[in-house]
Structure 1
Amino acid sequence: MTTAASHLLFILEGGEGYGVMRVWDTLLRGLPARGHRVSVLLLRDNATLRARLETQGIDVLHLPVASPSPRGSGRAQKVWALGRRGVAQLGLARRLAREIRARGIDTILLQSPLATMLAALSARWSGTRAFWMMPNSVSSGYPLDLNRRVYRALFRAGPLIPVANSHHTDGTLGPGHYRRHVLHLGIDTDTFCPGAGAGLQSRAALGIPEEAPLLGLMARITPEKGQAELIEAMSLAGADAHLLLCGGPLESRFAGALREQVAQAGLQDRVHFAGPQADVILWYALCDVVLNTRTDPEPFGLSVIEAMAMGKPVLAHGAGGPSETVIDGETGWLMSAPTAAAYAEGIARALADQPRWAEMGAAATAHARAHFSENTMLDGLGALLSR
């Protein structure tokens, strides 16, 4: 798709996590290749990231930023910290608006919810527009639904436009009459493809029999990723499948509790902790079925479409994004609840379909290539930019 070239300003926090940065990397590589000019504002100094961006030929704005992030878990603390950040961003927004006008920037792109006010004010004062590429669901942890009320006020006042990564994520904004869009994420389906990484990682080195069904979960070792429920489900299912857990940290108290849970269930020979991995492709290739067991609704789930693109059927908790990416019974299976019992039922269902794994994997690849490629995402964003 060809669109009129824009001069885009990306607002980055400077400390983005794996999934968020993967999306930024795709856009920062793909949009210039389509003729768009790109600049970046880093809200937090990150010398490594700044050097990498400059190596790519990307203009990095250097503005002094004093923008405190919310700290603490109490509601009052969150509201106070957000208020302080809002005040700090007022001055920055005026300086940024001047830079935007001077550089001829016409569109702002951001992901961090903490930068929405900055983007909205800068866009209004510079006569441009801002697209908030929502990476996560909107929290309900603020009193009087304050955060949603603030967001909706910014949307109605324009020119901040939310672009959610799933219909689920969009729904967490609540109702409202303003411009809003849903744009599913995309991955490089030439990199994540059937056969990629095959043979580069050994099952034998992990103590996994070559013929054993292997289920894999690629996720941080944190409670909301569902490892505890999954280990209990492995015990309940009583099958001969093995479970590979790729992610860290392995030194945390929660990881220690998981190891103790595995020992108490007698699953030491069937549950394998691989730790955090820089190249997940090798580990996807090792698995027969890839899991997503997040206990709260997954906003989108990059691991789901990465695994499908590689020809792996996916077993996922159906809340949130996976319900929009996995076709139940065709490209994988959806589990009804984030409980050990539901996960055990899902594992049993997936193992019963073992004769269909190759067929389901081929369907998963075709589905990912058709709907969740980088080009599909870039085409969708290009259509928004051209409006």
Structure 2
Amino acid sequence: MILLQLIPQLEAGGAERTTLEVAQAVVAAGGRALVVSEGGRMEAELAALGGELVRLPVASKNPWTVWRNAGRIARIVRSEGVDIIHARSRAPAWSGKWAAARTDAHFITTYHGTYNGKTGLKRWYNAVMARGERVIANSNFIADHIRTHHPFAADRIRVIPRGVDLDSFDPQAVAPDRVAGLAAAWGVEWPSSRLIALFPARLTGWKGQRETLIALGQLKAEGLTMPLTLLAGDAQGRDAYRGELESLIAQYGLEDDVRIVGHCTDMPAAFAMADIALTPSVEPEAFGRTAAEAGAMHRPVIAADHGGAREVVLPGETGWRVEPGNPAALAAAIREAVSMSAERRAAIGERAAHFIRTQFSTRALQAATLRVYDEVLNSQP
């Protein structure tokens, strides 16, 4: 089988990570895995897994560029003998759909988010993600969203949750020197006398960093023994938002309690350094990969009570779920996590690890995706 995946860029993110995981599975099964993208920091990893990057301007939403990309992709399909085009984002999905229509390639999509659409034109634009021969939803939450907004696709939906690399996200696999090296790079004392809270997400408003700082400010005013909170995520192109966060840190006197540490390339070590993880997104996550990764690393998670997080975090068992966008509710959960004994937090972490390992794994994602590929290859495009 020759697979061609479409993803705008290969920077950090769940869709990008899944692109690489599926490429790895196809190569391991004896196929070829092409990825059409503008590239990014994950290019070398793709190559190491046996994937092949084809650089095209597929991040562009310019209609003329999208149309021209369709012709470029169609030529690649013919020259390389591509069997399946798998689109993971809207603009390249339009190009891929038109390319499939000009060739014998099958066309499938993965619906990676809710793709908010308030106008008829935007809803039409979004609908391309539901027009694959099979439409992969990365959570039951997303599957329900597709059924509601694109009922015509209901019989083509296949739910494949995102997976966690359980070999990498395993406390036993993370050597102490890796953690110590990362802590030194971030200027963090480790082992730490303070509880460490890790917030693993790119710096963007909907992820909830703003609300987290407000919650920490409330706890600081109460005189609570504060956790050291690490905001670990890419801020590229969002300098204004980073500046807003720095202003909030100063406003609430959190200079000694919060660090903005930037993009992290060793997330297992980051979770090993932490005691709890925060994923309080204001808008619903399609799945919540970082919450699952934290759970696999035996770390309790405080997540927002909506979207895919409801499938990943079990309140009272593996962590906490709080009202989205409510700093007071978030502060209450952080207060409880900080105040409980290390033994109780460890017990929650153990339950989280067991749940994630039995429900969500990269191997399960890869196997299920290959089954979908087999399904379409045995049908007419």
> TM-score, normalised on structure 2?
0.83
- 1:159 Cα offset (Å): 4.6
1:125 maps onto 2:112 in alignment: no
CA distance in 1, matches of 2:259, 2:230: 5
- 1:168 Cα offset (Å): 2.6
Match of 1:310 among 271, 293, 297: 297
1:97 maps onto 2:97 in alignment: no
Partner of 1:69: 60
Match of 2:351 among 338, 355, 363: 363
Note if contact 2:305-2:324 (Cα within 8 Å) is conserved in structure 1: yes
1:167 maps onto 2:140 in alignment: yes
1:265 maps onto 2:280 in alignment: no
Partner of 1:73: none
More displaced stretch, 206-215 vs 238-247 = 206-215
- 1:193 Cα offset (Å): 0.8
Letter matched to residue 91 of structure 2: L
Question: CA separation of 1:54/1:322 partners in 2, compared to 1, >3 Å: closer, same or farther?
Answer: closer
Partner of 1:240: 225
1:119-174 deviation digits (Å, cap 9, x = unpaired)? 22222332332221222221224x22x2333454785xx55432122233334441
CA distance in 2, matches of 1:260, 1:380: 45
SS at match of 1:231: helix
- 1:50 Cα offset (Å): 6.5
SS at match of 1:217: strand
More displaced stretch, 228-237 vs 372-381 = 228-237
Note if contact 2:83-2:106 (Cα within 8 Å) is conserved in structure 1: yes
Match of 1:323 among 301, 310, 316: 310
CA distance in 2, matches of 1:326, 1:374: 18
- 1:272 Cα offset (Å): 2.7
Partner of 1:76: none
SS at match of 1:26: helix
Identity fraction in percent: 26
Note if contact 2:138-2:287 (Cα within 8 Å) is conserved in structure 1: yes
Partner of 2:122: 147
Partner of 1:386: 374
1:252 maps onto 2:239 in alignment: yes
Q: How does 1:1-387 map to 2 (within 5 A)?
A: 6-42=1-37, 44=38, 46=39, 57-61=50-54, 69-70=60-61, 81=62, 84-85=63-64, 88-94=65-71, 96-97=73-74, 99-141=76-118, 143-144=119-120, 146-152=121-127, 155=130, 159-173=132-146, 174-178=149-153, 179-195=156-172, 196-198=174-176, 200-202=178-180, 205-206=187-188, 210-237=192-219, 238=222, 239-242=224-227, 243-249=229-235, 252-354=239-341, 355-387=343-375
CA distance in 1, matches of 2:132, 2:25: 24
SS at match of 1:386: helix
SS at match of 1:133: strand
CA distance in 1, matches of 2:89, 2:129: 15
- 1:287 Cα offset (Å): 0.8
Question: CA separation of 1:108/1:353 partners in 2, compared to 1, >3 Å: closer, same or farther?
Answer: farther
More displaced stretch, 303-312 vs 161-170 = 161-170
- 1:300 Cα offset (Å): 1.8
Question: CA separation of 1:41/1:199 partners in 2, compared to 1, >3 Å: closer, same or farther?
Answer: closer
- 1:275 Cα offset (Å): 2.9
Question: CA separation of 1:256/1:183 partners in 2, compared to 1, >3 Å: closer, same or farther?
Answer: same
Letter matched to residue 16 of structure 2: M
| Matched positions, count | 360
Note if contact 1:38-1:59 (Cα within 8 Å) is conserved in structure 2: yes
Question: CA separation of 1:375/1:235 partners in 2, compared to 1, >3 Å: closer, same or farther?
Answer: same
Note if contact 2:283-2:324 (Cα within 8 Å) is conserved in structure 1: no
Letter matched to residue 164 of structure 1: A
Question: CA separation of 1:349/1:134 partners in 2, compared to 1, >3 Å: closer, same or farther?
Answer: same
Question: CA separation of 1:222/1:59 partners in 2, compared to 1, >3 Å: closer, same or farther?
Answer: closer
SS at match of 2:261: strand
RMSD of aligned residue pairs (Cα, Å): 3.0
Which residues of structure 1 form unaligned runs of 5+?
1-5, 71-80
Note if contact 2:9-2:40 (Cα within 8 Å) is conserved in structure 1: no
Partner of 1:77: none
Letter matched to residue 194 of structure 1: P
Note if contact 2:279-2:302 (Cα within 8 Å) is conserved in structure 1: yes
- 1:104 Cα offset (Å): 3.2
Note if contact 2:94-2:128 (Cα within 8 Å) is conserved in structure 1: no
Note if contact 2:285-2:308 (Cα within 8 Å) is conserved in structure 1: yes
Note if contact 1:136-1:299 (Cα within 8 Å) is conserved in structure 2: yes
Runs of 4+ in 1 over 6 A off after TM superposition: 47-52
Letter matched to residue 137 of structure 2: A
